[in-house]
Structure 1
Amino acid sequence: MKTAMFSRLVLTIILYSAFTFYISWNVHLWLQSTFSVNIPGLVVAVIFLLSYSYVLARFLKKLLFLKYIGSYWFGIIQYTLLLLPIADFIGWLFIFAGFSSDRVIFWVGTVVLLGMISILGLGTFNAYNPVIREHEIEIEKETSFSSLRVVMASDMHFGHLSGKTHANRLVQEVNSLNPDLILLPGDIIDDDPEPFIQKGFGSIMENLSATYGVYGVLGNHEYYGGGIPIYTKEMQRIGIPILMDETVVLEGGIQLVGRKDKTDRNRKHIENLLESLDETKPIFIMDHQPLELVQAAEHGADLMLSGHTHRGQMAPNHLITRRIFELDWGYLKKSQLHAFVSSGFGFWGPPLRIGSRSEILLIDITFTKNSLRT
């Protein structure tokens, strides 16, 4: 097992380095043709430093700029690897047709460069400027009120790039919607709880305000950071309970179930969490990863909120998430179950979103079978 894992790691490093060299060589050709600069060794060294800066940041935590560079590099390498083969093919066609190689390299390279600048600009805007997506649903269950306004935000990844300004934006946007209930289904922090605590994110998030409270669950990145006890203690301090295979009964008899993330192999089966609940009353589930929709519907759940997918974050990655999950983004009704998957309020890695937006979900619920209505 360890040999196989080591072999895959070595193969990944070789392929990644090969891609990096391919990008370096194209940059060298463009610099040579445009500015008569012939320093291939330096270009390769700089590009390789950029490509491994995120890894270096894991060991040199005080050099935060390495993490910033490395995060953007993930986006740069994806789109250069999509654009460069096409650009090279077009360039070869023009050169084969008799055009000057220097002029072809200059113009094709310039178009790629402008394209990358546009992608980075648009992607950054989409990442830091969330939209509100509004939904209205009906649930045929009994409560002591006729309607409920739920606001949901997931995948904030608060830490460094998704910083305090973005956190303040979340609080302002969510509170402006006058929610009855705020739900945060996982990946609230970006792995390590230390920057979340040291930078005072808690003092910002404790300003979230809803009539019936604010609740969250763990995502996979809370597990990656290895600081769940520290993180949950901080969240409890600011009045945001993190439910871990737990159920709380809210006003009106609403039963809110918060699941541990799938990362935890010891998390309870969904049927064990739901079997003792009253199916005549509303059952809401938060599960970070959008899995087991069928089981949730079969066991009487009415609302299921998830995140995790980021809708691929950077197109065309959404084609992958669409194949992995039955619902990778948006809304799906399965029997009585209303399932929602958010693309997330923040981002992982590059602060870029192409083909997706940072978002907050506003879900207005009407309870139509309501003998207890007041």
Structure 2
Amino acid sequence: MVIVFALVALLVLGALVAGNWFVWRRLFRDTTRGPGLVRRMGVVVIAGGWALAVGALVAERSGAPFWLQQVLAWPGFLWLALSIYLLLAVAVGEVLRPLLRRWLERRASAGAAVSREEPVAVGAAGAATPTPPKRDPAADTPAPEPEPDTHAPGPSRRLFVSRVIGGAAAVAAVGTVGVGTYGVLNGPSVKRVTVPLAKLPRSAHGFRIAVVSDIHLGPVLGRGFAQRVVDTINATQPDLIAVVGDLVDGSVKDLGPAAAPLAQLTARHGAYFVTGNHEYFSGAEQWVDEVRRLGLRPLENARTELPHFDLAGVNDVAGESEGQGPDFGKALGDRDAARACVLLAHQPVQIHDAVDHGVDLQLSGHTHGGQLWPGNYLAELANPTVAGLERYGDTQLYVTRGAGAWGPPTRVGAASDITVVELASRQA
């Protein structure tokens, strides 16, 4: 097992080194005439970016002083996103490079053909005859030897193509990350989804649950972001609020003030919370106590009977390492199966246990919708549903893309959201 892990680690490291060398080559080496300051700056930018990224990850996981986490997080995590899109943009440039080169060659060939045409004069009989060139007296003077051409058309054209493709790749990558970061910092949008439940009584038709997941308060997203999330949720005037995990990336000591706005959450039937995997990296027990202090009700493998349906919650599977994993029997055992049941579970993979226990609707997060395209394709390999509403037997699963972001405060192709799930009675 250790050998397999070591081989995988070496393959990943090798791929990272190769990818970064390729980016450096296309953006810095191929766009310059020779060794110099620009190439050295390229090495510093790429190596320094990865040093900051690794430092940010290590600082967060090791519980380094919070000020240090904040110093490293912004440049380090943004570099992670930028490096992805630099590599993708440079790869796309490989397709465009020969096309641009051929176009320039054809243009140059057409220009050369035009310059070779000689002017002609029309004779008395209407036939075209060459116009005799005018004699230049200076022509008798021997011409000086021409200077050697040190800039041959081939290399010059290659340099021009490299600069165009490299510049376009850099602009595309920076623009993509910039727009994706602005989208996260601007706060999540509101989605509305109607979910019919066969067992829901007519009196509960239109019951609205505000579902929010993956807020990821930490060294980047702080109190201001939490306030925007709270204000957005409250503006929907939900009947119930469900916070389905990954609220934080850090300790209560460091992030308690950032989470304080959660105390302002308002809903007729209250706000509920279940743990996500990141809570178990951040001190789950302390955070459960903290959210309870803020007025949310944790559902730790527990169930509550609301007037019209049962609301249950299970711990995240990451809690198994601490003996606090999900217990569906405890949360759903001996309940009245004639009542509709809504389950809060952070990860979509928990849907199979939900189906076995007769749950009508599971609300989850965790996937971020992939967060950074093409990450959604990887997310599909690990999750039954990446985003949206799907049915599994008699159980429906809704997965929100989440409100915040982990690592880079950036989303591309997976906009953040808070979802208002409106329950519909088939008897209405």
TM-score (norm 2): 0.78
| Residue type at the aligned position of 2:222 | G
| Residue type at the aligned position of 1:168 | Q
C-alpha separation in 2, matches of 1:194 and 1:210: 27
Task: Give the alignment's Cα RMSD to 1 decimal.
Answer: 2.6
| Residue type at the aligned position of 1:66 | L
Pick the aligned partner of 1:238 from 285, 291, 294: 294
Following superposition of structure 1 onto structure 2, how do residues 165-244 of structure 1 map, counting pairs within 5 Å?
165-197=224-256, 200-225=257-282, 227-244=283-300
Deviations 1:343-365 (A, max 9, x none): 11001111111111110101111
2:220 matches 1:161: yes
> Number of paired residues?
365
Q: Are the counterparts in 1 of residues 343 and 363 from structure 2 also a CA contact under 8 Å?
A: yes
**How many angstroms does 1:135 deviate by?**
1.4
Q: State the SS of the aligned residue for 1:239.
A: coil
Following superposition of structure 1 onto structure 2, how do residues 210-359 of structure 1 map, counting pairs within 5 Å?
210-225=267-282, 227-250=283-306, 252=307, 254-265=309-320, 266=323, 267-271=325-329, 273-359=331-417
Deviations 1:51-99 (A, max 9, x none): 1212213346433232111111111111122121231453356557556
The structure whose RCO (Cα within 8 Å, separation 6+) is larger is 1
C-alpha separation in 2, matches of 1:4 and 1:323: 21
Query: Structure 1 residues 189, 361: closer, same or farther in 2, change over 3 A?
Result: same
| Residue type at the aligned position of 1:233 | D
Q: State the SS of the aligned residue for 1:364.
A: strand
Identity of aligned residues (%): 25
Q: Which residue of 1 aligns with 2:425?
A: 367
Q: Which residue of 1 aligns with 2:89?
A: 83
Query: Structure 1 residues 5, 322: closer, same or farther in 2, change over 3 A?
Result: closer
| Residue type at the aligned position of 2:177 | L
Query: Structure 1 residues 16, 245: closer, same or farther in 2, change over 3 A?
Result: same
Deviations 1:123-177 (A, max 9, x none): 1233234221111222233559433111111000011222222211111111011
2:15 matches 1:19: no
Q: Are the counterparts in 1 of residues 226 and 259 from structure 2 also a CA contact under 8 Å?
A: no
- The structure with the larger Rg is 2
Q: Which residue of 1 aligns with 2:149?
A: none
C-alpha separation in 1, matches of 2:215 and 2:235: 18
Q: Which runs of 5+ in 1 are unaligned?
A: none
Bigger shift: residues 185-194 or 21-30: 21-30
Q: State the SS of the aligned residue for 2:75.
A: helix
C-alpha separation in 1, matches of 2:83 and 2:171: 15
Q: Which runs of 5+ in 2 are unaligned?
A: 106-153
TM-score (norm 1): 0.88
